Structure 1
Amino acid sequence: MDDDPGSLMVAKAVVEHAGYECLSAADGDTAWELFQLHQPEVVVTDWVMPGMNGLELCESIRRVAEDSYTYLVLLTSFGSQDDVLAGMEAGADDYVTKPLDPFTLRTRLLVARRVTALHAQLGKYRQELTRQARTDPLTHLDNRLKLTEDLDLLHGRSQRYGGRYSLALCDVDYFKSFNDLQGHPAGDDALKLVAKTLAALARDTDGVYRFGGEEFLLILPDQGAADAEVAVERIRSGIESLGIVHVGNPREVLTISAGISTFTADHPVSSGRLLKEADDALYSAKAAGRNRVVSFVRAG
């Protein structure tokens, strides 16, 4: 980006000769539009330009570039230390004084390549760490941190637009005796199989989470109580049909119990209250003999 045609021509020739694709602009406003459209890895910009100047362009790029890193080189006729510091504080990574020297610009591009490659690699690591922080290591389902994020988002949207959704809290029946009788490795294998079945039988739009221990939670967007009961009953039946031997269970196979709660415009409780209602319904399912699905019933 440079309003001097000669300087712009030299810079463009250097960039293209180095094997890069080059986009050019003669003013700051056009440069900003090009950046937003193409998200380039490197920006070489003059300091003084019509419209948005080089400092403002650097500041704007730094404000919006969150998921990737753009290396910023500021071209300037000013050589004072204060000017250099002002450019760096605005977000520039390096500066080149004018008139532009092709060799100097080429070296800056080599540095830029290394820096942007490093940031790209760090970005991948950050994404993986973010994923791991939200994933249960045993079952590979989403964990309670991801549940909190997803539930807050869905709850807020349902409040604003009058939507509905259901929660289903599921618990493996007599799981302590399963571990006692068959050992913790077998218990871990059983939990992994239950998790896999929950994910397979849920809809693509549903959320499936390990809630803790032998408990799992389902978020069922846009489903009222009746639809949620049908969906969770299908899952309960699917778990039972796995036929996982459980001699500590009266049915001699592993089963689950589930409690359902539903958010509606007529029942606009908090997400925390909704979780408590699902837990109360689960308690009722266990008290009624386990291996069943119970929906929370409001008093009155």
Structure 2
Amino acid sequence: MKILVADDSQTNLAIITDALLHMGHEVTATRSGEEALAAFLRAKPDLVILDVLMDGMDGFECAAKIRAIEHDDWIPIIFLSGSVDDNSIAKGIDAGGDDYLTKPFSQVTLSAKVKAMQRISDMRKKLYDTTCELSLLSSTDALTSVYNRLQFNTSIEEKLAYALRHNVIMALLFIDLDNFKFINDHFGHHAGDLLLKEVAQKLKSCVRKYDFVARLGGDEFAIIIQEVKTIEHAGVIAQNVLNSLLKEYQFTGQNFKISGSIGIACYPFAGTDSETLIRHADMAMYHAKQLGRNNYQYFTDQLFELENKQNHLRNTLRHALDRQEFFIVYEPIFNLESRELIGLEALVRWKQPQYGVILPKQFYPLAEEVGINTALDEWILKTICEQASEWYNLENNEHFKVSFTISSSHLLHKLFPEWVQQMLDKAKMPATMLEVIINTQKAITANYNQILEENIKKLSKNGIGIALDDFGLGFSPLFNIQNWPVTCIKINKSFVADITTHPHVAKIVRSISHLANDMGLAVIAKGIHTEDQVNQLLKNGCNCGQGRYFGEALEANKISAFLYTNKE
């Protein structure tokens, strides 16, 4: 380690310097707080040891100044003192210190203190490096190197703010490749991946450097044109994109062509907020496909018929609970190595009379809009407790969990933990059988919300498990793992989908799994579809998972038989 030492006693300074050099450390010795501060900036040490009592700037003042100039790096500080009382300890901690070393000291004590600081520093660096790696990787699409959906969600808000501030037209283009499935099916996924990479570069070449290109998933891309002179100018750019895509590609000696369908929504004419613009660009893109593909379409008033469907869903959703149109299915969770059933995740479905079964990602945003999300959450938990309590004696496994995702609005309610406990007591379901899933990205925005943190701790104290969902997307909250009683993290299905084909993704999964294992947390992969994915997950440290590979999610009336079968 590189260690900076400050002591105005030449004798004491020589003793500690010799001891540290004997241990194999690189030492920078200084005789005052002022010298130590200058050496800190120059030498960038791994550890600082400061004598408390020094002429001029004392150790406490020096430590406070060091902490004030630190940025991302945290350097441990040990104070040297002839005596240590409660007041000195409090003052040292407030100044930014981490430990005390009482003079005179033995080499054994000094060595132990240094090693302890080294371990703490290494763990913090590991957490920091993992945070930086996940933050960097998660803003960029691993395959194409353009931005991903998460960064798109952030950037569109920034571009809209610019357009509003400067009173300019902003254009959003949604691009979907035509017949991409044919390429994958006939030439293989490797050919499809190569094509997506080339398409991404072509899109970047069609716009300016300060415009924005993202892959939203699969063969869907988005372009945000920060400023266009007219709506027609957005059409010119869209046509340039179509012309660029429409060429022959070659793979393993075979030629094929690709085209695209583009939907355009312009601020402020097609919407003034991101949600509306995205929805309208998506509608326009699907309209382009319906018109024969390889064309672009603007969002127009004629597309409001599609919007009417959404309005119909909103209106019928208000009465869906009273009409008992919701039901719950349970997706099994397995130990990937032993194939032992370890839990179930509850998933709500809406059986809409006109459109059939609708998934939460389609109706839950509407539920929040019409204000039934709280009542829906209450129905979900009540139903889960009633149904799962019947399975407790059958499963007879203290580690078996039934998990469900809770909305952020409920988590921020002061009485949420008491309400959950009442539901459990009424159904005679043990708290240890329940696990609450928290959306990772929503947790980031609520890092410092006191009610949220208190509620999570109360739930945990009552024996309820806490899981962070979609871990790895965006800036995953390591703060929450350190400070909340999290018991489980769930890896997003997009990583699972690419783990067998992209070593880059396997690295991310390995980092997440090792971090979870080091901290004693369960780690569960979502969206498993193949045996190859199972093998790659095990290889990279993830030993639990769920997905269609293990079968479809089951309704409650089939769970008892399923549990009985899996115990044989």
How far off is 1:169 after superposition? 0.6
C-alpha spacing 1:297/1:57, structure 2 compared with 1 (3 Å): farther
Alignment match, 2:373: none
After superposition, residues 1-300 of structure 1 pair within 5 angstroms as 6=9, 10=13, 14=17, 19=26, 26=33, 41-45=46-50, 47=52, 65=70, 67-81=72-86, 83-84=88-89, 87-88=92-93, 91-97=96-102, 116=121, 119-160=124-165, 162=167, 164-224=169-229, 225-243=231-249, 253-264=257-268, 269-297=272-300
C-alpha spacing 1:297/1:50, structure 2 compared with 1 (3 Å): farther
- Quick one: percent identity of the two aligned structures? 28
3-state SS of paired residue (1:204): coil
How far off is 1:261 after superposition? 2.1
For the aligned residue pairs, the C-alpha RMSD in angstroms reads 4.7
| Runs of at least 5 residues in structure 1 that lack an aligned partner in the other structure | 246-251
How far off is 1:216 after superposition? 0.8
Query: How far apart in 1 are the matches of 2:169 and 2:107?
Result: 62
Superposed CA deviations along residues 129-183 of structure 1, whole A, max 9, x for unmatched, are 2233334344343321222222233334444454553221100112344445545
Query: How far apart in 1 are the matches of 2:186 and 2:75?
Result: 58
Query: How far apart in 2 are the matches of 1:199 and 1:21?
Result: 50
**1:256–1:290 Cα contact (<8 Å) kept:** yes
Query: How far apart in 1 are the matches of 2:86 and 2:225?
Result: 60
**1:152–1:271 Cα contact (<8 Å) kept:** yes
Query: How far apart in 2 are the matches of 1:118 and 1:5?
Result: 32
Superposed CA deviations along residues 87-117 of structure 1, whole A, max 9, x for unmatched, are 3466422223468999988986677667556
Q: What code does the residue aligned with 1:274 have?
A: L
3-state SS of paired residue (1:145): helix
Q: What code does the residue aligned with 2:265 have?
A: S
Query: How far apart in 2 are the matches of 1:161 and 1:75?
Result: 58
Alignment match, 2:499: none
Query: How far apart in 2 are the matches of 1:158 and 1:56?
Result: 48
How far off is 1:270 after superposition? 0.6
Query: How far apart in 2 are the matches of 1:138 and 1:185?
Result: 11
How far off is 1:195 after superposition? 2.6
Alignment match, 1:249: none
Superposed CA deviations along residues 69-97 of structure 1, whole A, max 9, x for unmatched, are 22222344541256336534664222234
C-alpha spacing 1:131/1:6, structure 2 compared with 1 (3 Å): same
Query: How far apart in 1 are the matches of 2:44 and 2:232?
Result: 48
Query: How far apart in 1 are the matches of 2:32 and 2:241?
Result: 58
Alignment match, 2:341: none
3-state SS of paired residue (1:150): helix
Superposed CA deviations along residues 262-282 of structure 1, whole A, max 9, x for unmatched, are 335x77711111112211322
Query: How far apart in 2 are the matches of 1:234 and 1:8?
Result: 76
How far off is 1:42 after superposition? 4.0
Q: Which has the higher contact order (CA 8 A, sep 6+)?
A: 1
Which shows bigger deviation, 183-192 or 66-75? 183-192
Which shows bigger deviation, 82-91 or 123-132? 82-91
Query: How far apart in 2 are the matches of 1:76 and 1:158?
Result: 59
Q: What code does the residue aligned with 2:242 have?
A: R
**1:197–1:239 Cα contact (<8 Å) kept:** yes
Query: How far apart in 2 are the matches of 1:50 and 1:298?
Result: 78
**1:147–1:209 Cα contact (<8 Å) kept:** yes
**2:7–2:13 Cα contact (<8 Å) kept:** no
Which shows bigger deviation, 113-122 or 283-292? 113-122
| Runs of at least 5 residues in structure 2 that lack an aligned partner in the other structure | 303-568
Q: What code does the residue aligned with 2:213 have?
A: V
TM-score (norm 1): 0.69
**2:260–2:295 Cα contact (<8 Å) kept:** yes
